[in-house]
């Protein structure tokens, strides 16, 4: 399923690019149902060291069972289904079940504070919350119509046969909440089509069928769920580590080393925490082929440290919850430390002044994305006045509010670097 095309240059990648978005599209049908039942989907390890190999047949059965459970609880199109769960095979299965039933997925990290959970449940007006025994007491029961405990008893209420709701590519599928650094987190609504825009797994990660992939992001962010779904579309096997609490760099590197994971999505925070481990490359030898990073700029010192330890240059990407990734570094292009690279093929990104005019080479401007120019473009903000979405998403350009400048290669696709 991984594209056979390899690219020798950025220009070739852009020239060969085209968007293919069908009118009718469902994330679960594309990412989950397409695989042979016997094919390996996931190697899961929890913090106690228990390892499970999970086939696509198991995930498909879990997804169908949960879709039937949702139907029995009256879930219809556009109903929000919230999750407060750790990273397990069952959690991934109920993600797919939500999309099969036509619901909108809201996944929350178990690391969120109670007030953050309460805000998301109240603002989203979720019909259903799925959680486990460890987290059930953190939730106000009155905030949702149905509180479901994810266990074998729940899943076995549903049949392994389910006819997917026929969704359009434009139908709502995913509700993410921004980080909320300036006030309460805002919900951003994405359509089923959004996963089709995540071609960084082709251009940056060069995902290959059957290889082991690992994403370090929480399954509550775009940078956590998309590195789960995107590689799966291309046939990768997910290596999933279920943490006991926060990020532990030593345990993370030991897990990757033991399973010989070759393709990794990391975060700058995770990589910087690894730098505190003396002789990490010797203590935790790896089989890395490609490592990418996103979430915030990756400082040059971290890029150099990772290269010294593991012989791999981390490819830094840039994007936001609203649209991601806008820009990236690629295996077929020279990586300049401190640069966010060039726009993803098919993404119309410019550095503009306050009048939405392109700035000159080397001048500081704002990173802007041409509105409605790719499948990731959001449907709008959730539970906000219509004028809020119109102001941000309804114009000719989406304004990121992030500043950058372009170097001398701007004529062949802006190579941007962040400025302060």
Other beta carbons less than 10 A from residue 114's beta carbon? 12
Look at residue 420 in the predicted model and tell me its pLDDT. Answer: 44
Q: Which residues of the chain have pLDDT under 50?
A: 1-4, 410-415, 420
Partners of 129 in the beta sheet? Answer: 82, 147
| 3-state class percentages of the chain: helix first, strand second, coil last, to nearest 5 | 30, 25, 45
Look at residue 415 in the predicted model and tell me its pLDDT. Answer: 46
Strand, helix or coil for residue 37: coil
Asked, for residue 394, whether it belongs to a domain, the answer is no
Q: CB of 92 within 8 A of CB of 228?
A: yes
Q: What is the pTM of this model?
A: 0.94
Look up tokens 């913090």; give the residue: 47
H/E element holding 369? strand 365-370
C-alpha distances (whole Å) from 294 to each of 6, 99, 204, 223, 265 are 23, 26, 12, 7, 8
Q: CB of 274 within 8 A of CB of 310?
A: no
Asked, for residue 82, whether it belongs to a domain, the answer is yes
Look at residue 418 in the predicted model and tell me its pLDDT. Answer: 52
Look at residue 347 in the predicted model and tell me its pLDDT. Answer: 96
Q: Is 281 left (phi over 0), alpha (psi -120 to 50) or beta?
A: alpha
Residue ranges making up the domain that contains 107: 21-192
Asked, for residue 88, whether it belongs to a domain, the answer is yes
Look up tokens 């359509």; give the residue: 191
Residue 269, φ and ψ in degrees, nearest 5: -60, -40
CA nearest to 256, candidates 321, 219, 310: 310
H/E element holding 343? strand 342-343
Asked, for residue 119, whether it belongs to a domain, the answer is yes
CA nearest to 75, candidates 100, 103, 96: 103
Alpha carbon distance 298, 373 (integer Å) = 27
Asked, for residue 343, whether it belongs to a domain, the answer is no
Alpha carbon distance 58, 50 (integer Å) = 18
Total of domains in the chain: 1
Token duo for residue 414:
């802006």
Where residue 107 sits, what CATH number does that domain have?
3.40.50.12780
């Amino acid at each position: 399923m991984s594209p056979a095309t390899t690219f020798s240059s950025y220009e070739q990648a852009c020239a060969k690019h085209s968007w293919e978005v069908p009118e009718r599209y469902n994330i679960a049908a594309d990412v989950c149902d397409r695989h042979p039942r016997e094919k390996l989907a996931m190697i899961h390890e929890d913090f106690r060291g228990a390892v499970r190999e999970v086939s696509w047949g198991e995930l498909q059965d879990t997804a169908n069972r949960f879709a039937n459970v949702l139907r029995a609880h009256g879930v219809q199109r556009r109903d929000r289904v919230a999750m407060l769960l750790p990273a397990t095979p069952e959690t991934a299965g109920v993600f797919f079940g939500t999309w099969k039933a036509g619901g909108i997925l809201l996944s929350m990290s178990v690391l969120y504070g109670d007030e953050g959970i309460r805000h998301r449940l109240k603002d989203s007006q979720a019909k259903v919350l799925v959680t486990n025994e460890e987290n059930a007491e953190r939730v106000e029961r009155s905030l949702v119509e149905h509180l479901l405990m994810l266990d074998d008893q729940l899943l076995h209420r549903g049949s392994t046969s389910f006819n997917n709701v026929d969704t359009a590519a434009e139908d709502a599928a995913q509700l993410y909440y921004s980080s909320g650094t300036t006030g309460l987190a805002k919900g951003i609504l994405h359509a089923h089509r959004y996963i089709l825009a995540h071609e960084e797994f082709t251009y940056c990660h060069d995902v290959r069928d059957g290889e082991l992939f690992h994403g370090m992001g929480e399954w509550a962010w775009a940078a956590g769920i998309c590195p789960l779904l995107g590689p799966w579309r291309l046939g990768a096997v997910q290596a999933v580590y279920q943490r006991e609490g926060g990020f532990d760099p030593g345990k993370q590197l030991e897990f990757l080393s033991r399973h010989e994971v070759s393709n990794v999505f990391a975060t700058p925070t995770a990589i910087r925490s690894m730098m505190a481990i003396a002789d990490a490359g010797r203590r935790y030898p790896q089989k890395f082929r490609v490592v990418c990073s996103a979430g915030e700029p990756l400082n040059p010192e971290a890029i150099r440290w990772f290269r010294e330890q593991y012989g791999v240059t981390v490819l830094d990407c840039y994007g936001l919850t609203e649209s991601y990734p806008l820009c990236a570094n690629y295996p077929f292009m020279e990586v300049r430390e401190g640069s966010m690279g060039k726009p993803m093929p098919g993404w119309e990104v410019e550095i503009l002044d306050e009048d939405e005019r392109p700035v000159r080479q080397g001048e500081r401007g704002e990173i802007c994305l041409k509105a409605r120019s790719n499948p990731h473009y959001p449907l709008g903000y959730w539970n906000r006045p219509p004028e809020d979405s119109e102001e941000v998403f309804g114009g000719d350009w989406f304004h990121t509010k992030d500043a950058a400048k372009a170097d001398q290669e701007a004529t062949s696709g802006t190579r941007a670097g962040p400025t302060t």
